[in-house]
A and B are shown apart, each in its own frame.
Chain A
């Protein structure tokens, strides 16, 4: 087998260790008007693990990710078929409170998107939405979140500076702090490092390893090495002839990268396609 040396720097991955199933994507298809962007995907998301979506650009990674907290609801003409279970409950079922789902399943975007306000107010934003007004609690949680996002040392001198004045990598960590402040159960990340330099990327990758102790993480990346470095499970998606994305293979990252079951997966990770 011609295997490109993919750095699997964490050989002691706990992937084999059993973990509860936090979310389940079951028979999900996504349509944009009449165009089917995702067809019939089945996938588990394990608790306190990092699950990576990889695949060629346009295969529907972002689309699939956004089904996990119903962000596709915001796109006119987008429609989701199938079920997405969060702790066994279908988030698309009638009567589900989408605001509450998004509180439980947070999101970090490709381009850092700090709000036009101070660092402090950025992190406190979600807390205030929840009705927390007490200064002492806000102070404590803002600090705790910024520490968890490995940003506290850089901003503690001046929490009143604008969030938009930070560097790109710091902005992204601010967005992570903002997301974890409301204590979501799952954090979705759509290519969170693709707008960042290698150093900032490494900082975020390290951060993810500590974050997964408290959160379940699903990350989209078009960078295979990144998926191999940081994730416990990997889902490889590809595109059919009708441009609909489908799941080619899902499994523990080590297995998927060292012993892929599908020819297509092997071709992709060895760089022969994609």
Chain B
């Protein structure tokens, strides 16, 4: 006797009706939640574009702030300060993060690896203002002055866990056969990592680096005690003065990193609370520039990745 079919116990029509109803409910729910997730982004973007775009002009990018209460002026000091500090942070954090990520990949279960993973996760969880306080105690107090250097270092500390953990995750996604393929050809470990594994994971790593940079560009609190702020920070001026007094390259760089510096979010925060209308307008314009910066960075990275993908996969 043939065994009884399971379909003696299944009501396909009822299953179908249930599935249709559930499907409709869930689909509507996801639609609503997607709208909820996108709404704030669109709202903020449009709002800042409208409020800040209005005050956008060339002066913003080439002039220092005008004295309080007078119209005009720009935020060159903040743009340059942000660039200097984020550049320093990137130079410090990215190589360290990538090398550490490769270590975690190659020796995933050693005590050191566990410790690195645990402490980067802890580091990622520390409020950025506490990192700033640390920079103040360790760098500012010992050097006895605020500086772009101190700002860059704390930003690097904030970037580090973001880049490290995302790079590790991306490297883990590379099939082990790729690394082994290189090793089997007699490639030393470092060469397999650099020439085969890294390029294979490049897309994800770049995304992680962008996240890290975006984090650093947007930080305000830790810069309060480290870079402090400086309305007169202008690299062109520092260089001109240095050349005038026949300073060496090192001395000029020392000036650039040794002075207190401003940053876009720091300027935004300060100007937004001043009683002068011109300053508040400038704050909106800075918000706009910050968003442009994030957008530009994203577009540049995507364009590069797309170009690279075309070259790799035809």
Q: Which residues of A contact B11 (CB under 8 A)?
A: 131
Q: How far is the CA of A100 from the CA of B6 in the complex (A)?
A: 15
* A132 sits at the interface (CB 8 A): yes
Q: Say yes or no: B15 contacts A131, CB within 8 Å.
A: yes
* B42 sits at the interface (CB 8 A): no
Task: Tell me, rounded to whole Å, the shortest Cβ–Cβ distance linking A137 to chain B.
Answer: 6
Q: Quick one: closest B residue to A126, CB to CB?
A: B6
Q: Quick one: closest A residue to B11, CB to CB?
A: A131
Q: Say yes or no: A137 contacts B16, CB within 8 Å.
A: no
Q: Which residues of B contact A132 (CB under 8 A)?
A: 6, 9-10
How many residues on A have C-beta within 8 angstroms of the other chain's C-beta atoms? 15
* B3 sits at the interface (CB 8 A): yes
Q: Which residues of B contact A141 (CB under 8 A)?
A: 6
Q: Say yes or no: A182 contacts B16, CB within 8 Å.
A: no
Task: Tell me, rounded to whole Å, the shortest Cβ–Cβ distance linking A211 to chain B.
Answer: 15
Number of cross-chain contacts by CB at 8 Å: 27
* A134 sits at the interface (CB 8 A): yes
Task: Tell me, rounded to whole Å, the shortest Cβ–Cβ distance linking B216 to chain A.
Answer: 34
* B34 sits at the interface (CB 8 A): no
**Which among B6, B7, B9, B11 has the greatest number of chain A C-beta atoms within 10 A?**
B6
Q: Mark B1-23, 1 if CB is under 8 A from A, else 0.
A: 00101110111101110010000
Q: Say yes or no: A130 contacts B15, CB within 8 Å.
A: yes
Q: How far is the CA of A137 from the CA of B7 in the complex (A)?
A: 11
Q: Mark B43-63, 1 if CB is under 8 A from A, else 0.
A: 000000000000000000000
Query: What is the predominant secondary structure among interface residues of chain B facing chain A?
Result: helix
CB contacts under 8 Å to B, within A46-89, are: none
Contact A100 B5, CB 8 Å, known A130-B10, A131-B11, A132-B10: no
Q: How far is the CA of A127 from the CA of B6 in the complex (A)?
A: 8
Q: Which residues of B contact A140 (CB under 8 A)?
A: 3
Q: Which residues of A contact B15 (CB under 8 A)?
A: 130-131
Q: Which residues of A contact B19 (CB under 8 A)?
A: 99
Q: How far is the CA of A134 from the CA of B9 in the complex (A)?
A: 9
CB contacts under 8 Å to B, within A112-155, are: 127, 130-132, 134, 137, 140-141, 144
The listed residue (B3, B9, B10, B14) touching A144 by CB distance below 8 A is B3
Q: Say yes or no: B12 contacts A100, CB within 8 Å.
A: yes
* A249 sits at the interface (CB 8 A): no
Q: Say yes or no: B5 contacts A183, CB within 8 Å.
A: yes
Q: Which residues of B contact A144 (CB under 8 A)?
A: 3
Chain B interface residues toward A at CB < 8 A:
3, 5-7, 9-12, 14-16, 19
Instruction: Write 24 A-B pairs (CB below 8 A) sorted by A numbering.
Output: A97-B16, A99-B19, A100-B12, A100-B16, A127-B6, A130-B6, A130-B10, A130-B12, A130-B15, A131-B10, A131-B11, A131-B14, A131-B15, A132-B6, A132-B10, A134-B9, A137-B6, A137-B9, A140-B3, A141-B6, A144-B3, A182-B6, A183-B6, A183-B7
Known: A99-B19, A130-B10, A134-B9. 6 other contacts (CB 8 A): A130-B6, A132-B9, A137-B9, A181-B6, A182-B6, A183-B6
Chain A interface residues toward B at CB < 8 A:
97, 99-100, 127, 130-132, 134, 137, 140-141, 144, 181-183
- 9 interchain residue pairs of minimum CB distance: A130-B10, A141-B6, A131-B15, A132-B9, A137-B9, A144-B3, A183-B6, A183-B5, A131-B10
